A and B are shown apart, each in its own frame.
Chain A
Amino acid sequence: MKPVQQLTPAALPMTCEPVDSRSRRVVLADDDVFARAIIGTLLRSLGYEVIEAGNGDEAWACLERSEAGILVTDWVMPDCDGPELCRRIRERSGHYVYVLMLTSHSHRSAVVEGLEAGADDFLRKPPDPEELRVRLKTGERIVRLERQLSQRNERLRETNARLREAYERIERDLAAAARSQESLLPRPGFVSGIAVDWMFEPSSHVGGDVFDVVPLGGGRLLFFHIDVVGHGVRAALHSFAVHGLLSATLGRRPAEGDVLPIDAWWRHALSFLKETNERFCSVEAESSYFTMLLGLIDGTSGTGSLIQAGHPSPILLHAREARAELLGEGGLPVGLIPDAWWEPLPFVLAPGDRLALYSDGIVEAERLGEGLFSEARLARHLVITAGRPLAEVVAGLRLHLRDWRQGAAPDDDLSLLMLERPLPS
């Protein structure tokens, strides 16, 4: 990944010259040559760089060209007078110009008109040198402050743009990771005579839940559903690794006619799990463990067995009685406690029966004031939707959960894997 460029002031383009020179540059607008000469001399004697203009239009052009910070302008000028010039300055964008208006009008309505046009200050004509000096000091201070502020804003804008760019890149990376995580998941449909469908909603782009079904030959189907502790990127990385490890070790299809007897297969699977458990436990750092349901089912007979490693009890939906049964009473997670052990639990899917494997995120989805979604609600959903196609069951559950959370984003990964032994057609 390309590193984010270091943000140092030196790396920023210098969009403006030093602040001080601009705050001490004055455009002086007066159509009276004599008055202009006197005031110009006065300003120069105070150390200002003076650019003289004979009318409003000229003054406007001078301001654009010189980027002067201060305008001293006469009120009455032909064509474009003081207030008009002022209004034009205020209407444009760009750097702030401090406007000191010279006037022989001293009545209230003139002051109001000048202020409304955007003048900052007034001075009686002809100006008293001392008064002119202190009022220009004020102007200088304001121009300096405004310049500092706009430079700071510019820097903030740049930083913001870089942050946005970095954020967008992370978002793109995560979206790509999410796509590859989804591509690991099985395609809904039939495998080894078992219908498969699922729901997967990580709490952020990627999650710690993963599941798969792998045909092992001889009509057998390996299935597993895993929830790695935590969620987000760290959990997702672990779930990728566990998925790979399991598929490579247990999902290997034996050569034709070389299918292991069930007990021999489980001996092999359990010894692999124990080994994995010890490996995870020996890691010094804060334990990264996972809970899992791992099982094997014969698609032809519907007989199966599974081990429950700290994962929520799967729900077996008996189609004929429209009854949901929670299988198993728990078990140690993988990688939490050394010397863990598991016992395969037998089950049978009659034609039409379904097995639902899910992560705790589903049953622990919370509704404020009403508590957790619970196994009972999940089981009820499965019973109510018993006659419907799997895709509908899954889509319905997604809606149900969204409704339960009342639109709140899930705070844990939600996933469900459904297996069905189809009715004979």
Chain B
Amino acid sequence: MIRSEERDGHLVVRIDHQRFDAAFVPTFRAEMERLLAAGHRHLVLDLAAVEFMDSSGLGALVAVLKRLGDPARLPVCGVRGPVAKLIRLTHLDKVLRLHDDVAHALSFSD
């Protein structure tokens, strides 16, 4: 459900799951824990496959950002549909580093 691959010195974490909701949160949390514990610090989160996110999903995403300390360390790309709407509604578009796709996100990071 979550696939990660190295690309240009970054670890691209792709959520291959349509619903990023309360039921999915434990999986997401555990995988992010694992990646951070393994020392990965340059991450890109790809949400292109996600079609729905609820408030629990949003909470889990923000929790990872808080752990990293800086939103720039977890650029998020591919948000669309209801996910983009939720991010706009909660004004997180002003907090997250949003990109259209992975290539764009990679071209922006140092």
Contacts and interface: CB of A to CB of B under 8 A. Distances in A.
A333 B90 contact: yes
| Chain B binding surface SS class | helix
A412 B62 contact: no
Interface string A335-371: 0110000000000000000000000100010000000
Interface in B9-66: 22, 29, 52, 54-56, 58-60, 62-63, 66
A357 to B, nearest CB: 14
B82 A336 contact: no
B2 interface: no
A127 interface: no
B55 A227 contact: yes
Contacts of B52: 364
B1 interface: no
Contact of A360 (B22, B29, B55, B63): B55
A313 B95 CA distance: 20
Contact of B90 (A287, A291, A364): A291
Contacts of A312: 89
Contact of A287 (B62, B82, B91): B62
Interface string A171-200: 000000000000000000000000000000
Interface string B69-102: 0000000000000100000111110010000000
B62 A337 contact: yes
Contacts of B82: 364, 372
A332 interface: yes
A310 B92 CA distance: 9
A330 interface: yes
Nearest to B62: A336
A331 interface: yes
Contacts of B95: 337
Contacts of B63: 286-287
Given A227-B55, A229-B56, A291-B55, A330 B88 contact: yes
A364 B83 CA distance: 12
A331 B88 CA distance: 8
Contacts of A410: none
A329 B87 CA distance: 11
A289 interface: yes
A230 B90 contact: no
A312 B55 CA distance: 12
B51 to A, nearest CB: 10
Contacts of B92: 332, 336-337
Given A364-B82, A412-B54, A229 B59 contact: yes
A288 B62 CA distance: 11
A310 B90 contact: yes
A227 B54 CA distance: 12
Interface string A82-103: 0000000000000000000000
Contact of B89 (A287, A310, A372): A310
Interface of B: 22, 29, 52, 54-56, 58-60, 62-63, 66, 82, 88-92, 95
Interface of A: 227, 229-231, 286-289, 291, 310, 312-313, 329-333, 336-337, 360, 364, 372, 412
Q: Which 10 A-B pairs have the closest CB atoms?
A: A310-B90, A330-B89, A229-B55, A332-B91, A287-B59, A229-B59, A230-B56, A330-B91, A333-B90, A336-B62
